[in-house]
Structure 1
Amino acid sequence: MKPILYKGRLKTWKDDRGFGFIKPDDGNKDVFLHISALKGTSRRPKVGDIILYELATDSEGKIRASNASIQGATLRSLDLFKNQTQSPLPKKHHRKKRGLVEILMSLGIIAVIAIFAMEFRASDSPSPVSSVTKPECNIKGNISFNKGKKVYHLPGMEDYESTFIDPAKGERWFCTESEAIASGWHKAPR
């Protein structure tokens, strides 16, 4: 069975929202038209356009136009539509989509960089977990950020609790004081 084609004039159109209403030629009640029903048209509709359409019922039971076209407007193939720079959506909607894609791509790039940095860092320095797991290795080998001096801190010293070891900077844990001295580290002054 061939679908019935109706004809009417576009009575209202909200371009920023992508919908409007058709006044049917047969005098029936106005018909809702969404931009998605105008697939393949070469331009956006405007008030006064003659619209050719089929009738459909949406999920809420409301009548709406479907498979619509603008009389006199040329149709374009789907391939041309894909390559065309102008979207059938208003620019406001186009910017939102582009912004979301850019955000998702940025997050993906950041995640890849973070994973790479963690892998690089893990292969570059000893794991802080493995060096702390030995209970006898509690001497902190710290590098002074002011002068670059290598100093070690023994438990009970004044700065011991506030000293943090960052293996990525070359800092490390020692099991004995003699091991720290043999590695070229000097005892902290306090």
Structure 2
Amino acid sequence: MKPGFQKGQLTTWKDDRSFGFIKPTHGSKEIFIHISALKGASRRPKMGDTIVYQVITQADGKVSASNASIEGVLPQSWQKKQNVNKRRLLPKIIGIGVMFMIAILSQEFNRSRSPSLIKLVTKPGCQIKGNISIDRGAKVYHIPGTEDYESTVIDPARGERWFCTESEAITNGWRKTPK
């Protein structure tokens, strides 16, 4: 407890009139308390609450509680701060989840860019690879045995495709790779 503060139990509380009386722990005369002495309390006091307070003497000589708080009850500003922190936590959790999903999807995408048996059997019997060059955007086709045939991966999402015959590739606007 802070120096200059006392502790007591709330013995009377008239909620409709917003005041009550505290029985000090050290046993002296009851102390008057008004709701205004409990600024920032997150709830209204009730009988039996332990109140921490400072004693002040009014101009008329009456003694009352000031700068009071309810023991064990967080101040309203603290609870608001906790609620703000909870509201900030949700977007962080969502952001982490999104980043996690992006990481998983990018790994899957990278796996799909490497040659696999599934890619080679995409169009059974068709072995001509229709590829779009990354640097120029040119549509070229590769036939088995050419220089880049084995390293070429077909990505249907980019518009690349398989052909069964060279004439099919040419008819669809693709040209033979020079190598």
User: Which structure's CA Rg is the greater one?
Assistant: 2
Q: TM-score, normalised by structure 2?
A: 0.45
Q: TM-score, normalised by structure 1?
A: 0.43
